[in-house]
Amino acid sequence: MMTAATYDRTWHMVKQLALPEQLQLLENLTKAVRRQVDAEVKTYSIMDLEGLGADVWQDIDAQEYVNQERASWQS
């Protein structure tokens, strides 16, 4: 964790840079932070959903369910 004094010294040094250097620093910092965030973000696969809600359908016959749904369309 950065102390307030370290932050203040860093901020002072950044302000000493010319505008193009500040912009380059900002760009580099943005890229570095983005890489760090991207590394922490978990990606998901559709396979992560496998079995989700299985307990809801546990005692239901799939064909009977489909038959009931189709019959409800006729009403």
Could you write out the three-class secondary structure of the chain? CCCHHHHHHHHHHHHHCCHHHHHHHHHHHHHHHHHHHHHHCCCCCHHHHCCCCHHHHCCCCHHHHHHHHHHHHHC
- Residue 41 reports pLDDT greater than 80: yes
Total structural domains in the chain?
1
Band (pLDDT 50/70/90 cuts) for residue 43 is: confident
Q: Which domain holds residue 33?
A: 4-74
| pTM exceeding 0.85 | no
- Residue 38 reports pLDDT greater than 90: no
Q: What angle do CA 23, 26, 27 make, to 5 degrees?
A: 90
Round to whole Å and give the CA distance between 48 and 33: 28
* Residue range 9-20: mean pLDDT, rounded: 96
- Residue 75 reports pLDDT greater than 70: no
**DSSP state at residue 1:** -
